[in-house]
Every structure is written in structure tokens, then in C-alpha cells.
Structure 1
Amino acid sequence: MSRTVLYYFTPQSPWTYLGHARFTDLLRASRREVAVLPVDYGRIFPLSGGLPLPKRAPQRQAYRLVELQRFAEHLDLPLRPQPKHFPVDGNPAALLITAVAQLDGMAAAMQLAGAVFAACWREERDIASDGTLAELLEETDLPAERLARSREADIRARYDAHTQAAIDAGVFGAPTYVIDGELFWGQDRLDFVARKLGM
């Protein structure tokens, strides 16, 4: 049995935001390690039958907003279902989280990821902006030079490798938690994640 839970997501996912704090608590309580793995769903969706939000049917887009509001109220989490900077390119933040995971460890990457989710969905900040990403590094006490480092070829290669690993594992949505090879898709599956972790 692996002690490490694989955590696949994209930084602009509101569902990942809604589950992040609870998932962090589960990891702490179960004393499991985590591999923080932001991936490129622009590559995953065409292979898995998914569609980017603007291409989904109007009915699905409308119901998504209803469900976001429902879950935010149920979880007592502040969330703006239609933030000012959305849709947004998640790649710059994903690369930054990847760099921090590599250089500063998974705990730091989890903290930064949480700050990125909140910046997008609670604070309506532009997570594709260098200015916002630099601010988030400062706010999470991480080195400013990580932003430049996130643009280097080895970090891009690592991000691409994580995306391919997600594809190979059958990941199709965000967030996806993988425990001992078993996939759990969606923050609304965290009860099953807890059971799998023996909680």
C-alpha cells in the first residue's frame, strides 16, 4: 500500500477549491503523504470526452452555476460563481505550483495551491497574471524567484509528464484523488476518500 495520495487538478477549477481544505484535513488526519500534481486538462479533455466550459451546452453551464452555489453554501465557503477573471489560463499557476512542489516540497505546494484557488474563486484575482502570482508567493512566504524558475524547461517537462501520467491513469476531471491505484473524481467524493484512508 502506498502512503502517497496522488492529487490531480487544474488551478482554475472551482470544484478543487471547494474540496481543498477538506482534503488537506484528511491527509493530516490519516498521516498520508500527497503528490501535488497540477495537470493540463486542455490535453486531457479531448482524449476523455470532456469539453471546456464555453463549449458545453447552455443547460449544463447554467446547472453548474446552481451546483457551485449549493456546494459553497453547504460547505460555508465564500465563492463567486462567475469571477471577474474567468475563464482564465491555468498554465502559469500550474507551472508555479509544479516548481514549488519540486523545490520547496509538497506542503508548500499545497499551501500555494490553496492560495491560488482562493485568489480565483474568492478574491477575483487574475491567476494568470505575473503580478498576482508574485503576490501569492509573497503571501505564502515562498521565494520570489520561483516565478522565473517556473518558466524553465525542466519544470515544463515535469508538468507535461504529470499530465501524461494522469492520462495513463484514466483521469478525466478535476479534482481527482488516486489512492492505491483507485480513482475518486470530484470534491463530492471526499467521503469515499476518507473511507479509503481508513477514517
Structure 2
Amino acid sequence: MTLTADLYFSFRSPYSYLAIGRYRELSEKRDVDIALKPVYPLAVRQPDFFERNHPNWLGYTFRDMFRVAQMEGIPFGPPRPDPIVQDAATRVIADEQPYIRRVTRMGQAAARRGKGLAFAHEAAQLIWGGQENWHQGEHLAGAAQRAGLDPAEIEAEVAEQAEALDEEIAANQQALEDAGHWGVPTLVLDGEPFFGQDRIAMAIWRMEQKGLGTP
């Protein structure tokens, strides 16, 4: 029996990156179909997000994401550039966000074709794996191609259907909230949310309770 689940994912989230490869491997090796549901990051949806956090939040998050990457053996480097355009000194989020909007729309276009998980993994490796100027040249086109997509077709769809793609992305966010969470990465299995890269083992445990075969 093939299980189905939804993975809510942001291309700006380091923890989404730290989870995506493991979820992709799970979907390729075991009988579960994981559909990617891209969402825009909180920095876009709630521009005052950083102002409302505890002063220690950012420092701890940086420490933690690097050690998770080290523990899991996942290549990790600060994104160059950050998918979000933000003033480093004031943390003010710019109104125009060309990088995150483009890549998230590409992710949704890939999801329309059932290849969202693969594209998100390939693109996230560029963004968070240390590829300088990941947004330029053929980097994202290469990610699309490695995911089994036609890069020209995806880019054309992003250019021509931006509003429709954004409506689908907004629907993803609403579905995440309806499932009982708001953050990413969150896997939703039969209405049950599993938030965080540290809940993958628990999600697999629940899948096995529901009939997921052993490797």
C-alpha cells in the first residue's frame, strides 16, 4: 500500500534544507509518495518576524543548524546570496523579493508535475550547499533538469503564471495552518503534522504503524 504525505517547505529555511534530502531518499526507497507544498518564508509573510523574536533566537539558530548539518554529514554553507533581500544591519525586509519568489514559484511549478520534492532538493543544495550566485546563470535550470523537468518550460510558466502560482502557494500555507502548524519543514500524514527536521524518525515510525513496509 502506497502512503501519501505532504511536505511543507521553504527555500529560505535551513531546516527545510536539512530535511529535504532525507525525505527524498525516503520517498525513493520506500512506498510513500511525498508531495511538496512550497510556502513563502515568514520573512515574506510576516516582515516583522525577526523583530518579535527573542534576541538569542538568531544566534542559537545559527549554532544549531550548523551542528545538525555536521552531525548528518550534509554540506552546508551560508546562502550566497540569501534568498531574502534584507538589510543586514536593521533586519528590515525589502518590499521587492525577486530571488525567493522566483525559486518558490519554480518549486510550485515542479510540484504541479509531481517533481516538487526532487526540484526542492536540487535547488536547496545550491542555495544552502554553498553555491555562490545560485540565482544566476544556469544553476536553477540545472536543478530543474536534474529533477527531470524541462527548465525552459518551468521558467516560462513562472513568468507567465506568477499570480496563479502565488495563489497555489498561498493555498499551501493555509493547508499547513489547517493541519495544525505554521512552520517548516512540516510533514503532514493523514492530517497529523510532524514539524522539524528532527521529527523525520517519528514520521517514519507513524508511517510504519500505517503499513509502510520495512526497507
**Range of TM-score over shorter length:** 0.7 to 0.9
Write the distance in 1 (CA, Å) between the matches of 2:2 and 2:136: 36
3-state SS, counterpart of residue 21 of structure 1: helix
Partner of 1:111: 118
Written as runs of structure 1 = structure 2, the 5 A alignment for 1:147-166 is 147-151=155-159, 152=161, 153-166=163-176
Deviation at 1:51, TM superposition (A): 6.4
Write the distance in 2 (CA, Å) between the matches of 1:101 and 1:147: 14
Partner of 2:10: 10
3-state SS, counterpart of residue 12 of structure 1: coil
Deviation at 1:28, TM superposition (A): 3.3
Give the aligned length: 192
In percent, how many aligned pairs have the same letter?
A: 26
Question: In 2 relative to 1, CA 196–92 (structure 1 residues): closer, same or farther, beyond 3 Å?
Answer: same
Q: Which gives a bigger RCO, structure 1 or 2 (Cα 8 Å, sep 6+)?
A: 1
Deviation at 1:54, TM superposition (A): 6.8
> Which stretches of structure 1, 4 residues or longer, exceed 3 Å deviation after superposition?
41-46, 50-58, 124-132, 138-141
TM-score (norm 2): 0.77
Question: In 2 relative to 1, CA 186–87 (structure 1 residues): closer, same or farther, beyond 3 Å?
Answer: same
> Which has the higher Rg, Structure 1 or Structure 2?
2
Partner of 2:127: 120
Write the distance in 2 (CA, Å) between the matches of 1:21 and 1:135: 17
Write the distance in 2 (CA, Å) between the matches of 1:173 and 1:15: 10
Question: In 2 relative to 1, CA 24–139 (structure 1 residues): closer, same or farther, beyond 3 Å?
Answer: closer
2:191 counterpart (169, 181, 192) = 181
TM-score (norm 1): 0.82
Partner of 1:35: 35
Alpha-carbon displacement from aligned partner over 1:35-56 (angstroms, at most 9, x marks no partner):
210012339965xxx9645763
Long gaps (5+) in structure 1: none
Write the distance in 1 (CA, Å) between the matches of 2:51 and 2:127: 18
Write the distance in 2 (CA, Å) between the matches of 1:149 and 1:189: 34
**Residue 64 (structure 2) pairs with residue 56 (structure 1):** no
More helix by percentage? 1
Deviation at 1:61, TM superposition (A): 0.9
